[in-house]
Structure 1
Amino acid sequence: MGKTKNARFKRAQFPPEGRPVKAVKRAAEDDEEEDVVESPHAELLEKLQSPSADIREYACASISRVVQQSQTIPGFLHRDAVRRLAPLLLDSSLAVRETATGALRNLSVCGGAEVCEDMVRQDVLTPLTTLLTECCVRVQLSSSPVKKEQKPTVEDVANEAVNLLWNLCESSSTAVSVFNRARLLDVLLPCIEKHPHNVQLALSAAHCLHTVTEDNSELVGSVNAAVLAALENVLLSTHSSMEHVLLRSLAAGTIWNLKCCLSSTHQAEAISAVVKTLAQCLSLDAGVLVPDLWHRESSRLDGAGTSDPESARPDEHQAAAGVQEEEEMDDGEMKMNRGKRNGKKMEKDLAAFLPRDKPELREAVALLTAQQTSLEIIVNMCCSDEPSDDEWEEMSSSDESEICTDGVADGNSSLFSPLCLSAELHTTLLNYSIPQQVLKKAEFPSHAALDVCGRNPAWKCLVKKMQRVQCRALTCLHNMLAVMDVECLGGAAGLQAVAQHLSSLIFTSADLLKDEEFLEAVTSAMRSLLQIMASKNIPQCMSPQQLMSVCEAALQCDVLSVRVNALAILGITGSTLAKDEGSAETLQLIGNALLGVASKDTNLVACGEALDALLDVFADGQEAEQAARNINLLTALKALQPAFTAKIRKEGRGTYSADQLCVLDNVKTNLRRFIGYLESLQKK
């Protein structure tokens, strides 16, 4: 309501970017079904106790494959799989260590946050910490470069262990606390320092470090010069592979997370280095590079006939069955995949689940992951430390402090948040042309890239990743519009160009407005843009009818933040139109739409936003007064008022946060005053 809260990306548990998995059902299954599904699993778990290392390795590798089918996970958990696998992390056989760690890694990813919490409760971190500490010492002593071998190396084991740690820390605050206490930061450094020779291990460590450094004040005391030097070394690396581009992006994000550890004299240099790294990543054109990598793979396979047998070493605990399209997920799976911030779907690095004989596809995935990561970092840069939008914690635009002398809220008095970027960061973002780069990434994926990805099932997974980069860019645009000076964004002409750009995105295809992720990202950007343009009296290219058509689609969305964005857009559009002669008919349409939501939406937040928008639209002006009379607004609001008040009293406590209730109470107060204002108009 009123001010636009900036988006922020938070740590969330991701499923593998093969077929997404559903949450583990904890309810007991009937005995007959357990006998059918679990008997083979019981046999595999028994083999974990075999005196033969080969049999133990076989059992671990088999479990790794089986748990990728999420329906099998309850059966394994019921038979205490975690406690049986955990001791094998310290098995005398290196191969068993690798496959056991891989099995737990797959269990943690495919089982989701609930299973990760269970694993932490069952103390899997104790043997994992011991394993990581041993690996750290041996990785430091190991020779480089790593040779391709049939048998696993200590770096293979370390890679699996770090990935498992990453998964657990994403889902469990307890795991993060253990990470801090056990000083596992020191364990990750040698892995990151291996980046010239083993980029996969370095990437796993960098992902983990990027995760655990976010909002982790307890870790700050452990950050020393060696940590910062290792990250700086990564930023300064000149390796040109896309996996190194991703590595540099993750290092940049980690430095941003740890900026409070830097002295004031070094912060400016660090911020400049971070933004430069992100700019270099975003400057890469996936529309050119993805087709190029695809053609490179095709040429290699045509020339060789078959892929390199050594590079295709069986890796049973990874997704050996290949990558399945994300489009196969059903509605329940989509909801399970949502991160903390407003339903954003975020996945683990797909490259970790690709066969080793697809280096070009791994490069393409790394490129898109790097660009998504870079955009998410910029989103967080252009964001205050306040909680996220999904908690609806911003104050109403028509709060008590903004009531005018006639008792009516001034709908335009607080249309946008004050600038919250430091002058230094603001200047750095502009120096590296970040706004222009973000706008470029907000375009649709190139036809050339979409075409080549459609020719090969293994490459189809990149389509979703390209679309996700676009959505992150739109969210980034939303934040930048809220915190950057209009002149720095090109002034009125620049904002009109952005409006034209968003218009071209929205009205390209009706199917796009059915995609929740895209709809949320684009409506957030539209909301910020319209707020700023309205406050500066800048005309924009989208007609009220076009905006209403978008809002109509958005109001059908199950995602609350999308509906809230649509209601805010209607409020901004209406309050702007109310100043124009002959707008009464359009204001009636907007008023009826808002009344419909206020009276029918089951969510109090949406009802409150609709009422607040109504107050903005009909606050002042002859056209607004005429439209209000035509739709019997006073009668409608009088009918809504007692039900809204009762709903706050009945459902508010325990369902909505204290901040949400504060805003709802504010709307309730303003509604009472607005009704009084409409009654005074009737008496004239």
Structure 2
Amino acid sequence: MGKTKNTRYKRPQFSADGLSVSAVKDVLEEEEQQEEAEESPAVELLEKLQSPCADVREYASASISRVVQQSQTIPSFLQRDAVRRLGPLLLDSSLAVRETATGALRNLSACGGPDVCEDMVRQDVLTPLTALLKECCGGFQPSSSPVKKEQKYTVEGVANEAVNLLWNLCESSSTAVSVFNRTGLTDALLLCLERHPQNIQLAVSAAHCLHTVTEDNSELTGSVSGAVLAALENVLLSTQSSMEHVLLRTLAAGSVWNLKACFSSQRQAEALTAVVATLAHCLSLDTGSLIPDLWQAQESRLASKSTAEPDSASAHSEEQPATGNGASVEEEEEMEEGDGEVKKNGRKKNGKRAKIDKDISDFLPRDRLELREAIALLTAQQTSLEIIVNMCCSDEPSDDEWEEMSSSDESEMCLDGTDGNTSLLSPLCLSAELHTTLLNHSVPQQVLKKAEFPSVSALDICRKDSSWRCLIKKMQRVQCRALTCLNNILSAMDAECLGGAAGLQAVAQHLSSLVFSSEEVLKEEEFLEAVTSAMRSLLQIMASKKIPQCMSPQQLMSVCEAATRCELVSVRVNALAIMGITGSTLAKENGSAETLQLIGNALLNVATKDADLVVCGEALDALFDVFADGDEAESAARSINLLSALKALQPIFKAKIRKEGRGGKYSPDQLCILDNIRINLRRFIGYLETLKKK
């Protein structure tokens, strides 16, 4: 919004001091900038990083680590070259400086987001980080020499910060993954993973990182050694019962699944069984009872401690700030807010695994042992469901996913249907082996159980204890992942294996109870996206097999009405598809014309008014399905003047495709499908005109 250019000469105005107004403005701006620089903590702290005194460098690094947890402070550090100033300190002569500096970079990457991570990689932070990790892993104490608890800074502590920083960078940057492959950092992660009997936090961090870098990484897959596979199998066979060990085994299972091509065909079956058994066990754990039990254990422990140590309330005031310990509840909740973007196959559009929330357990004070366990449990269950989501989908894009491509009966004309995955998944369905293993471990039943709303008792505890409040979002996210997982299971498994007609109707009843439990749930976008995706798949299967639906058309319309008001395109698309499926089923029943009119008017309204072409196209596609055939459909079409409405819409839709197709908003695949819908619209108008002549 620039000023309008004024071609007339304008005499400058002067202040009482004789300075022009513009000069006064420049002076004031310069003074303000100087004041901001003086007030900004970045200036002083970054200068202290250059101090010859190790204690001062440690203090500055630790302070930066704390300050950058408030995301609004990050730009001031980046503008002053914080990454390049902190980088050399990763190899500082002081262990304390190494750990706090690495922690500062870790927090910068975690709280700054993907763009900051990319910038850090461009500034070559991986060079000192790689050297640090390799040096740390060469300095681990023997297993027989456990670290003393009172020791504040340790080599393993430094390694934990370094692994978390590496994980953040690789999750956000493909360049970081390439550097990881090239520098052989898998061996360093392996050494950290093998420390799980002595240092579970370091092992979990390494497992998180390994799970991330092994996904869709063919370059790494081709060079993975037998030692890595053996170490992962060793973790899967571990028997420790803590929730952090459950999380460790879950992440190891995910890495084994990602590396399945590295196993011989004979060992693939064994690996598959071990992976599914691990995931099934994780999902079988009842958070509704475990979370209250963990909270009660915390209360008992703290009560005993306060009796024994009256001054224990201040005992943790010196917690190590480099890992962000001491973060407020508000900061914890902010850190776990993710981008919320998860596709039906659990991936983002760029193919990377969607990272919705960062595990904040390392940002908690060390005395919150039970809360760490609760976070580990929920993270493990969310991860298990995400792995199953990817198991139950093809690597080939689905032509009914408007999130990626939209839907059309003729979409195959524009898509390459080939698929190169010949391992445990076929491009069209689950392999018989995987199918059987999932059923043998009752995975569909476990997933359906997790799709229920979080336990009331667990929610009550989290609401009354502010430090546990961060678990509410995590419990809700587990439910949403379960619904997404259910959607993929429905799409990938034969209906008979899911209990036939009775089983599918039971699932429909379950989804109905979730959706109609309260009006509030229909306002949650993530829940709406997950539940409408599952409903869409379920209704499509039931319609194809002529299984009666348990939800009335009026109930489905109420869900669709709420969904079409949602800002998420994927939710609106799901709602329109549900209306299309419901309407096409009703069109075959006598006396349905009145309901078809309601559906038709709703679809026409969206096709005419929605700002997104993808949504408009889905509405038209649904109209084609609903009014394609049958006396009831013909009657309803006449009542709502469908022919004239579509004739009026046709040139507008065509013009929008031409205009918006050049703007780069829609992918080539989406534009291809939209063009198919344009052609189908012309044909459908011709069909309605034929009916009118009868």
Which consecutive residues of structure 2, in runs of 5 or more, have no partner in the other structure? 1-28, 414-425
Aligned in 2, Cα 1:308/1:233: closer, same or farther, shift over 3 Å? Answer: farther
* Structure 1 residue corresponding to 2:481, chosen from 467, 472, 488: 472
Among 570, 580, 583, which residue is 1:574 paired with? 583
Q: Is the 8 A contact 2:132 2:162 kept in 1?
A: yes
Name the residue aligned to 2:282. Answer: 281
The residue identity in structure 2 corresponding to 1:658 is P
The equivalent residue for 2:547 is: 538
In structure 2, relative to structure 1, the CA distance for the partners of 1:390 and 1:569 (3 Å cut) is closer
Mapped partners of 2:640, 2:624: distance in 1? 14
Q: Give structure 1 stretches of 5+ with no counterpart.
A: 1-29, 402-416
1:528 & 1:400 partners in 2: Cα distance?
19
Greater CA drift, 129-138 or 336-345: 336-345
Task: Name the CA distance, whole Å, in 1 between partners of 2:688 and 2:448.
Answer: 43
CA distance in 2, matches of 1:152, 1:285: 36
Pick aligned residue for 2:611 from 602, 614, 621 = 602
Give the length in aligned residue pairs. 638
- Asked if the contact 2:588–2:630 (Cα under 8 Å) also holds between the matched residues in 1, the reply is yes
Matched residues in 2 for 1:434 and 1:309: separation? 46
Matches within 5 A, 1:635-646: 635-646=644-655
Deviations 1:105-128 (A, max 9, x none): 000111111111110000000000
Residue type of the alignment partner of 2:266: T
Stretch of structure 1 that moved more, 303-312 or 521-530: 303-312
State how far apart, in whole Å, the 2-side matches of 1:316 and 1:362 are.
17
Q: Report the alpha carbon displacement of residue 360 of structure 1 after superposing the two structures with TM.
A: 0.4
Find the residue that maps to 1:58 and give its secondary structure.
Answer: helix
| 2:326/2:363 contact within 8 Å kept | no
Query: 1:547 aligns to what?
Result: 556
Question: Following the alignment from structure 1 to structure 2, what is the Cα–Cα distance between the partners of residues 139 and 584?
Answer: 74
Alignment correspondent of 2:361: 351
Query: Which residue pairs with 2:634 in the alignment?
Result: 625
Deviation at 1:222, TM superposition (A): 2.1
Match of 1:248 in 2: 249
Q: Which amino acid aligns with 1:304?
A: K
SS at match of 1:481: helix
Task: Report the residue type matching 1:163 in the other structure.
Answer: N
Q: Which amino acid aligns with 1:633?
A: L
Among candidates 394, 409, 417, match of residue 397 of structure 1: 409
Letter in 2 for 1:186: D
Secondary structure in 2 matching 1:139: coil
Residue 430 in 1 paired to residue 431 in 2? no
C-alpha distance in 2 between matches for 1:536 and 1:251: 39
Which letter maps to 2:36? V
The verdict on how the C-alpha distance between 1:351 and 1:675 changes in structure 2, with shifts beyond 3 A counting, is: same
Per-residue CA deviations over 1:452-503 (Å, capped at 9, x if unaligned) read 1112100011111111111000000000000100010000000000000000
Contact 1:500–1:541 at 8 Å: present in 2 too?
Answer: yes
CA distance in 2, matches of 1:136, 1:303: 38
The alignment partner of 1:561 has SS state of helix
**Alignment partners' CA distance in 2, 1:522 and 1:400:** 27
Secondary structure, counterpart of 1:349 in structure 2: coil
Give 1:331-342 correspondences, 5 Å limit. Answer: 336=339, 338=341, 341=347
Task: Choose from 679, 683, 688 the match for 1:673.
Answer: 683
1:245 aligned partner, one-letter code? V
Partner of 1:161: 162
Quote the residue 1:41 is aligned against: 42
Separation of aligned partners in 2, 1:445 and 1:549: 24
Shift of 1:428: 0.3
Deviations 1:56-94 (A, max 9, x none): 000000000111111111111111111000000000000
| 1:224 CA drift (Å) | 1.0
Q: CA RMSD in A?
A: 2.1
User: Using a 3 Å threshold, how does the CA distance of structure 1 residues 573 and 85 change in structure 2: closer, same or farther?
Assistant: same
Say if 2:604 and 2:619, in contact at 8 Å, map to a contact too.
yes
* Kept after mapping to 2: 8 A contact 1:418/1:483: no
Matched residue type, 1:393: M
SS at match of 2:366: coil
1: CA distance, partners of 2:567 / 2:35: 39
**Greater RCO, 1 or 2 (C-alpha within 8 Å, sep 6+):** 1
Pair 1:526 & 2:535 matched? yes
Aligned to 1:132: 133
SS in 2 for 1:246: helix
Helix, strand or coil for the counterpart of 1:317?
helix
Give the 3 Å change call, closer, same or farther, for CA 117–327 of structure 1 in structure 2: closer
Letter in 1 for 2:255: T
Tell me: CA distance 1:186–1:40, structure 2 relative to 1, closer, same or farther (3 Å): same
Q: Whose radius of gyration is greater, 1 or 2? A: 2
Separation of aligned partners in 2, 1:574 and 1:145: 66
Residue number in structure 2 paired with 1:201: 202
Residue 421 (structure 2) aligns with: none
Q: 1:446 to 1:335 in 2, by over 3 A?
A: closer
Match of 1:292 in 2: 293
- Look up the equivalent residue of 1:48 and give its one-letter code: L
CA spacing shift, 1:195–1:66, aligned 2, 3 Å:
same
- The whole-number CA distance in structure 1 between the counterparts of 2:348 and 2:521 is 18
Partner of 1:24: none
Aligned position for 2:231: 230
Q: Could you tell which deviates more after superposition, 349-358 or 625-634?
A: 349-358
CA distance in 1, matches of 2:397, 2:60: 45
Indicate whether 1:188 and 2:167 are aligned: no
1:411-560 pair list within 5 angstroms: 420-560=429-569
Aligned partner letter, 1:540: Q
What is the TM-score normalised by the length of structure 2? 0.89
| Counterpart position of 2:57 | 56
Post-superposition offset of 1:320? 3.4
Mapped to 2, the partners of 1:143 and 1:201 lie a distance apart of 17
Deviation at 1:136, TM superposition (A): 1.2
Cα distance in 2, alignment partners of residues 428 and 336 from structure 1: 33
- Give the secondary-structure state (helix, strand or coil) at the position aligned to 1:378: helix
Name the residue aligned to 2:6: none
Q: Distance in 1 between matches of 2:296 and 2:53?
A: 45
Q: 1:422 to 1:634 in 2, by over 3 A?
A: same
Alpha-carbon deviation of 1:311? 7.5
Give the letter for the 1:199 counterpart. Answer: I
User: Residues 206 and 567 (structure 1 numbering): CA distance in 2 closer, same or farther, change over 3 Å?
Assistant: same
Conservation of the 8 A alpha-carbon contact between 1:578 and 1:584: yes
Distance 1:118 1:342, change over 3 A: closer
**In 1, Cα distance between equivalents of 2:647 and 2:525:** 34
* Aligned 8 A contact 2:63 2:321 in 1: yes
Contact 1:132–1:187 (CA under 8 A) maintained in structure 2: yes
Q: Distance in 2 between matches of 1:68 and 1:675?
A: 58
TM-score, scaled to structure 1 = 0.90
Residues in 2 aligned to 1:75 and 1:400: alpha-carbon distance in whole angstroms: 50
For 1:399 and 1:54, the matched residues in 2 are separated by 64
Distance 1:87 1:460, change over 3 A: same
1:318 counterpart (323, 344, 365): 323
Q: Which aligned pairs between 1:69-148 and structure 2 lie closer than 5 A?
A: 69-139=70-140, 141=142, 144-148=145-149
